[in-house]
Structure 1
Amino acid sequence: MAAFDDSYDQPDPRAYFRALGPLEYQAPHHGQGVFRRAVAARTRTARGAEPVTVLDICCSYGINAALLNHAVTLDDLYAHYTSPEATALTTAELIEWDRSYYAARRRPDPARVIGLDMAANAISYACEVGLLGQGFAENLETAPPSASLLRAARHARLITITGGATFLSPRTFQPILACAQDPVWVAAFVLRTTSYKSIAACLASNGLVTEEVTTHTFPQRRFTDADEQRYAVQAVTGAGGDPNGKEVDGYFHAMLHLSRPPEDATAFPLADLIPSP
């Protein structure tokens, strides 16, 4: 897979949107409707009046938080960050502009979002403009979580992932699930080139049942070149999937996995949480 390291950890997200726009990267768009419905369901089961806390893993610049809590679309954000107005600003000026931009579009029922990502600059930006209530630049695949992350994560009722599951293992999930004070839902968009079995097994050991959306897949982005497409087609075929009409047509595709306690899976059927494709 192509690496986008140069755009993932800049002082602001303009390079990120310039790089991914031509590839039609759309994973956060698919997450927007699912995550809003999941937050609404979690709100209905909350014991107090506090907003639901969401932990967004591999959160980058807080894109999922922006889409969850604000009256914006992913296309709006592409237009915003690639506009001539944004291009002309310094990072400090963009931060001030974005504070006003998001404040004017804040939904009346925002969730509290905390972010986890190894990209320190991206985390800092998302916190500065108010997209994240807290952010942690940590990599739980290589080191245990900090005490401050565990204190924040103990309040999480929903974990979201739209990118990065390829690079994750139970090492990231187990300490977070172990510290949570309430049962947690996990909503993860996972590329079809990647196995989710080890993570699903970890979630199962913590009492969560994983369901998979089988009615359709979710386009993630265009391939950067023929080599990347060849890799994806071979990986999907090797896993027993059919790449025709999906990877063969030029896009990575993801599957949505939703993990919850069994009683929540019964109370909130999966089909009710998935917007029509």
Structure 2
Amino acid sequence: MLDDHRYDELNDAKATMDHIYDHADPRAYFRELKSVGYQIPGAAKPVLQKLIELRQRKTGDTVHILDIGCSYGINAALLKHDLSIQDLYDRWAELGHAGATAEEIIEKDADFFAQLDQVEDIEVIGLDVAENAVAYGEQAGLLDRGLAMDLETKPLPQDVWPDLAPVDLVTSTGCVGYVTEKSFEELLPAVTKGARPWFANFVLRMFPFDAIAETLGKAGFVTEKLSQRLFVQRKFASRDEQEKVLEHLTEQGIDPSGKETQGYLLAELYLTRPRDEAAEVPIQRLLAA
């Protein structure tokens, strides 16, 4: 289990992109991330769609999703609409050259997403420390509710518990490492009050998941890793970043040969479900397709 200092060391190995995460609209975010081929939301989309389908089959009702590290509502945009990550790149690249203000971008995007066909029976709550990004996600109509808060340092407010009680699926696509077991400890009492959710976390290989798995395990959940499957997050921003990540992986006994050595940050899927459901259908069979 890593202490906070060790997590800081691992995060320091990655290129710093803090400057793009909390603008009033997503143009700078996508401009920067396009340069490094950021693609984890698109890579995760088919898996999350499958999990949503399975959850829908189980509940027979609207699937309520809590997306941790939601930023501008990117996962919500992909899951609610027939869009790819490239579609989003193209849209905000085009708007980025228009000289529009953030307010104009939000208005244009709200109209754009409202006119698209939307997948029925999905609601997404977004959780992120970036207040402006969360506000954009709500105003553009991507997030049904946005929670701008840092559960690593502050408790979950009691007044949001009713919003989280129906959650069927908790997701994250790359925030573990910044988000630790502390956030999950805060969320667990609320998301397990009225349901038994699943947790789907896409985690960079250099970040151990054991502390979060242990926290969820104490609440009666079992975590499985999808073996023989890796998901590209993005290209390394520099040779220096790659060398630091390779060093950390090697120190942890993780062989990067033929994987991160090829130039990409890679993530694994950890799926956490109630103990009885995990025993009934193991993850490899659940996601065999």
Whether these two folds match at TM > 0.5 is yes
> Which residue number corresponds to residue 10 of structure 1?
23
Residue 119, structure 1, aligned to residue 125, structure 2: no
Q: TM-score, normalised by structure 2?
A: 0.90
Partner amino acid for 1:80? R
Q: Secondary structure at the match of 1:242?
A: coil
- Aligned pairs for 1:85-104 (under 5 A) are 87-104=98-115
> Which residue number corresponds to residue 201 of structure 1?
214
> CA-to-partner distance for each residue in 1:136-195, whole Å, 9 max, x for gaps?
110000010112332211221110000210112221012222122111110001011111
Assess, with a 3 A threshold, how the Cα gap between structure 1 residues 267 and 88 changes in structure 2: closer, same or farther: farther
Partner amino acid for 1:79? D
Residue 231, structure 1, aligned to residue 229, structure 2: no
Shift of 1:275: 7.8
Q: Is the 8 A contact 2:40 2:231 kept in 1?
A: yes
Assess, with a 3 A threshold, how the Cα gap between structure 1 residues 226 and 104 changes in structure 2: closer, same or farther: same
Partner amino acid for 1:158? L
Which whole-Å CA distance do the structure 2 matches of 1:85 and 1:58 have between them? 24
Shift of 1:42: 1.0
Which whole-Å CA distance do the structure 1 matches of 2:287 and 2:35 have between them? 27
Which whole-Å CA distance do the structure 2 matches of 1:125 and 1:119 have between them? 10
Assess, with a 3 A threshold, how the Cα gap between structure 1 residues 205 and 152 changes in structure 2: closer, same or farther: same
Give the percent of matched residue pairs that are identical in Structure 1 and Structure 2: 38
Residue 270, structure 1, aligned to residue 283, structure 2: yes
Q: Secondary structure at the match of 1:252?
A: strand
Shift of 1:268: 4.9
Assess, with a 3 A threshold, how the Cα gap between structure 1 residues 31 and 240 changes in structure 2: closer, same or farther: same
Q: Secondary structure at the match of 1:144?
A: coil
**171-180 or 71-80, larger mean C-alpha shift:** 171-180
Which whole-Å CA distance do the structure 2 matches of 1:14 and 1:149 have between them? 30
> Which residue number corresponds to residue 153 of structure 1?
164
- Aligned pairs for 1:25-174 (under 5 A) are 25-46=38-59, 49=61, 51-83=62-94, 87-174=98-185
Partner amino acid for 1:160? T
Which whole-Å CA distance do the structure 2 matches of 1:144 and 1:38 have between them? 29
Shift of 1:266: 4.6
Which whole-Å CA distance do the structure 2 matches of 1:159 and 1:271 have between them? 19
Partner amino acid for 2:250? T
Shift of 1:101: 1.6
Assess, with a 3 A threshold, how the Cα gap between structure 1 residues 108 and 225 changes in structure 2: closer, same or farther: closer
Which whole-Å CA distance do the structure 1 matches of 2:74 and 2:285 have between them? 24
**218-227 or 267-276, larger mean C-alpha shift:** 267-276
Which whole-Å CA distance do the structure 2 matches of 1:81 and 1:226 have between them? 28
Assess, with a 3 A threshold, how the Cα gap between structure 1 residues 231 and 53 changes in structure 2: closer, same or farther: same
Shift of 1:129: 0.8
**133-142 or 167-176, larger mean C-alpha shift:** 167-176
Partner amino acid for 2:150? N
Which whole-Å CA distance do the structure 1 matches of 2:42 and 2:66 have between them? 18
Shift of 1:257: 0.4
Assess, with a 3 A threshold, how the Cα gap between structure 1 residues 166 and 216 changes in structure 2: closer, same or farther: same
Pairwise CA RMSD: 1.7
> CA-to-partner distance for each residue in 1:216-237, whole Å, 9 max, x for gaps?
2111111111221111101111
Task: State the number of aligned residues.
Answer: 274
Q: Is the 8 A contact 1:33 1:274 kept in 2?
A: no
Assess, with a 3 A threshold, how the Cα gap between structure 1 residues 97 and 268 changes in structure 2: closer, same or farther: farther
> CA-to-partner distance for each residue in 1:57-103, whole Å, 9 max, x for gaps?
01000000001111101110011111157643221221121122212
Partner amino acid for 1:37? K
Residue number among 217, 224, 227 corresponding to 1:211 in the alignment:
224
> Which residue number corresponds to residue 19 of structure 1?
32
